[in-house]
Amino acid sequence: MLVAACSAAPEEIGVESSALGSNQCVSAKEQSTANIACPAGQTITKVVFASYGTPAGVCGGFSAGACNASTSTSVLSSKCVGKNACQIGSNNGVFGDPCPGTQKTLLAQVECSGGGGTTTPIDPTPTQGSSQVCASVNQNANAVLTCPSGQTISSIGFASYGTPTGACGSFAASSCNEPSSKSKVEAECLGKSTCTINANDGYFGDPCWGVSKALKIQATCSGSTSGEPTTPTTPPTPPATSDGKVYLGAYPGNGGCVYPAIENCVSWYEQQVGKKMAIVHAFSSFENGWDDWFTRVSQSGHTLMLTINPASKAIPDILAGVYDADLKRWGKAAADHSSGPIFFRYMHEMNLPNNPAGWMADHYGAANYIAAFRRVHDMLNAGAGSNTKIIHVWAPNVFWGAANASNSIWFKPYYPGDAYADWVGLDGYPMSPTDSFDAQFGPSLALLESMTSHPIMIAEYGVVEMNPVGTWKANWFTDLFGAQVGKHPQLKALFYQDGTDGGTDHRIDTSAQAVAAFKAAIAPAKFASSYP
């Protein structure tokens, strides 16, 4: 039997729930919160109806009005399906504003069934010789766990990012709870004498959009008398590529070349630097089809890396399957037309704040980004079928602050997992005299190296001239291909972004000294001109 139960928090005004047979419904006016909760042991299996705007009707007979947020069902499904309960804000920040200046309402109808309702238990009281520490902070504040002298954090008894309740020793998760809270806290804190975690959507994901959240943690401290973090006993996994090669790549956009004339730009660029590129980088979109020049490049002894993104740049569209057919076509074309492997990079630079792209850190959160990235991965592979030649690339931008900063620049929460990224990469452009490769890329490379043993690429880098003109840029290239590459064994590909962008000129030929230094730096045989 299918049963759904929806209840509103007592303090919410403008929220109502009702029942119709095996389905129940919720109505939440703008700026209130819809609370949806299944009976114990059941989970939400289906969103039967959802509309944020001016919907009408009664439970079982809802209909969308002329004002309707098209993402209503996909947003509600992504936050609620599979959970025993969920909360979601009825506001423009969650759904967008389908009709500015009009008072809106969220109407929703869901079904619940089966078992599998989950709780977040608290571990038993610590044993003798250990101690209990707790942290409780509001959203965007730092939760700090500090063990007594001589002890380290040995277990996390409770962690919930959402709207948890209770005091230390009796914390309880509510219907708004990020399921990965405990595992994320464990990853950051176990084995340490003190640990700081910022309570924000960028790191934990957003379990209830539009609702003010908090983080509550209970931990057990015990063990080492040194008070220092314990050292892992498992040796690190060796790099996935160990042949010593570093593959040369470039986006050859110098001189304003546009498709399909970019083939001429490939030749021009290779003449300038005195060496063939192993991989040619190009850009397209989900909606565009395979271009003939892609085939010609891939059959000319070059491997192709395509960066493709949706025109709408909206995660709900990806999760709703809007681009499934487009992505399958890309996968099939890659399998049909290429004579070798093809790198596909998509949804890149997700950690840049205040960027208009809809997958960015300040839009839909890490959990939804990961779900969308994985869907793109699966659709490309489905199109390619058994003849798959696709190499999937996940590439954030370099961060420029503390790794646990609260301004969403840290990219670790957005990693989709080793099963969904064959390579990982970084984008970065030095823009000041202090931006050496090590200063700009070093911290981000160290974080990537701690996250995965997969090969790493610099997917985009371009260098402008700085004083002294010619010398500074030349020295930057010499340092990169000399000392810096040697410091990072997982660094296996470098893609120069040759061209101008936003008033910056990072063309390879801005000075004779720069070209000469680049040419000399890539001359050694370890910098490969063919992949693999």
Residues 181 and 42 in one domain: no
pLDDT band, residue 362 (cuts 50/70/90): low
* Weakest-pLDDT range from 102-116, 137-151, 399-413: 399-413
From the list 295, 273, 361, 286, the residue with the least C-alpha distance to 327 is 286
Q: Which helix (H) or strand (E) holds 137?
A: strand 131-138
Per-residue model confidence (pLDDT) at position 404: 41
State whether the Cα torsion 146-151-153-156 is positive or negative.
Answer: negative
Which of helix, strand or coil describes residue 470? coil
Lowest mean pLDDT among 239-248, 337-346, 486-495: 239-248
Greater confidence (437 vs 252) lies with: 437
Residue 1 forms part of a structural domain: no
* Domain-located, residue 186: yes
Residue 278 has pLDDT above 80, yes or no: yes
User: How many whole angstroms separate alpha carbon 401 and alpha carbon 489?
Assistant: 24
Q: How far is CA 220 from CA 151, 232, 418, in A?
A: 9, 19, 30
Residue 121 lies in a domain: no
For residues 352 and 398, the answer to whether their CB atoms sit within 8 Å is no
Query: Are residue 209 and residue 261 in the same domain, yes or no?
Result: no
pLDDT at residue 357 above 70?
no
CA distance 171 to 119: 12
Residue 227, domain member (yes or no):
no
Q: Are residues 54 and 146 in the same domain?
A: no
pLDDT for residue 359? 66
Lowest mean pLDDT among 2-16, 49-63, 118-132: 2-16
Say yes or no: 62 and 141 in one domain.
no
pLDDT higher than 60, residue 117: no
> Are 198 and 300 within one domain?
no
Q: Residue 385 burial by CB count (10 A; 0-12/13-18/19+): exposed, middle or buried?
A: exposed
- Clarify whether 460 is annotated catalytic: yes
Are residues 387 and 269 part of one domain?
Answer: yes
Select, from the ranges 19-23, 202-206, 321-325, the one with the highest average predicted confidence (pLDDT): 321-325
Which residue spans within 54-130 are E strands per DSSP? 85-90, 105-113
CATH number of the CATH domain containing 438: 3.20.20.80
Hey, what amino acid is at 435?
A: D
Is residue 407 scored above 50 in pLDDT?
no
Residue, of 528 and 109, whose pLDDT is higher: 528
The verdict on 90 and 160 lying in the same domain is no
Closest C-alpha to 195, from 214, 225, 218: 218
Residue 202 near residue 365, CB atoms below 8 Å: yes
* pLDDT of 29 over the 80 cut: yes
Q: Say if CB 531 and CB 303 are below 8 A apart.
A: yes
Shared domain check, 429 and 322: yes
**Range name among 5-9, 270-274, 329-333, 450-454 with the lowest pLDDT average:** 5-9
The domain total for the chain is 3
Whether 303 and 393 share a structural domain: yes
Phi, psi of 170 (to 5 degrees): -140, 35
Residue with the bigger pLDDT between 283 and 404: it is 283
pLDDT of residue 312: 67
pLDDT of residue 23: 63
**Among candidate residues 84, 113, 142, the one where a domain is terminated:** 113
Q: Are strands 105-113 and 32-37 parallel, antiparallel or unpaired?
A: unpaired
Question: For residue 187, is pLDDT > 90?
Answer: no
Amino acid (one-letter) located at 195: C
More confident residue, 454 or 500: 454
Residues contacting residue 451 through CB under 8 Å, at least 6 positions apart:
412, 415, 424
Whether 111 sits among the annotated catalytic residues: the reply is: no
Check: CB of residue 397 under 8 Å from CB of residue 427.
Answer: yes
Q: With left for phi above 0 and alpha for psi between -120 and 50, is residue 274 left, alpha or beta? A: left
- Among 50-54, 123-127, 249-253, whose mean pLDDT is lowest? 123-127
**What residues make up the domain containing 176?**
131-222
Strands 246-252 and 279-285: parallel
Domain end among 83, 113, 143: 113
Give CA–CA dist 176/171, Å, rounded. 14
Residue 348 has pLDDT above 60, yes or no: yes
Is the pLDDT score of 193 beyond 80? yes
pLDDT confidence of residue 186: 83
Q: Which of 111, 178, 349, 465 is labelled catalytic? A: 349
Inside any domain, residue 86 = yes
Model pLDDT for residues 363-390, shown as the tens digit of each residue: 677 888 888 999 999 999 999 987 778 9
- Asked if 109 and 61 touch (Cβ cutoff 8 Å), the reply is no
Which of 34, 140, 106, 183 shows the shortest CA–CA distance to 362? 140
**pLDDT, tens digit, 9 for 90 and up, residues 70-83:** 989 888 887 778 77
Residue 16: pLDDT over 60: no
Percentage of the chain with pLDDT > 70?
81
Q: How far apart are CA 23 and CA 86, in angstroms?
A: 16
Q: How far is the C-alpha of 493 from the C-alpha of 280, rounded, in Å?
A: 11
pLDDT score for 260: 57
Residues 6+ apart with CB under 8 A from 111: 2, 3, 4, 22, 23, 44, 45, 46, 48
What is the pLDDT confidence band of residue 4, given thresholds at 50, 70 and 90? very low
Question: Which domain-ending residue is among 113, 143, 158?
Answer: 113
Pairing assessment for the beta strands 15-20 and 23-29 based on DSSP bridges: antiparallel
Same domain, 384 and 252: yes
- Residue 9 is predicted with a pLDDT of 31
CA–CA distance, 512 with 109 (Å, rounded to integer): 67
Average pLDDT, the chain: 81
Are both 105 and 149 inside the same structural domain?
A: no
Q: Give the number of other CB atoms < 10 A from CB of residue 434.
A: 9
Residue 119 forms part of a structural domain: no
Identify the band that residue 102 occupies on the pLDDT scale cut at 50, 70 and 90: very high
Q: How far is it, in rounded angstroms, from Cα 187 to Cα 146?
A: 16
Maximum mean pLDDT: which of 25-39, 128-142, 308-322, 436-450: 436-450
Same domain as 522, residue 446: yes
Question: Above pLDDT 90, what percent of the chain?
Answer: 41
**For residue 235, is pLDDT > 50?**
no
> What CATH number is given to the structural domain containing 59?
2.60.120.740
Three-state DSSP class for residue 94:
helix
> Using 50, 70 and 90 to split pLDDT, how confident is the model at 53?
very high
Q: Could you tell me if residue 280 is inside a domain? A: yes
433 located within any domain: yes
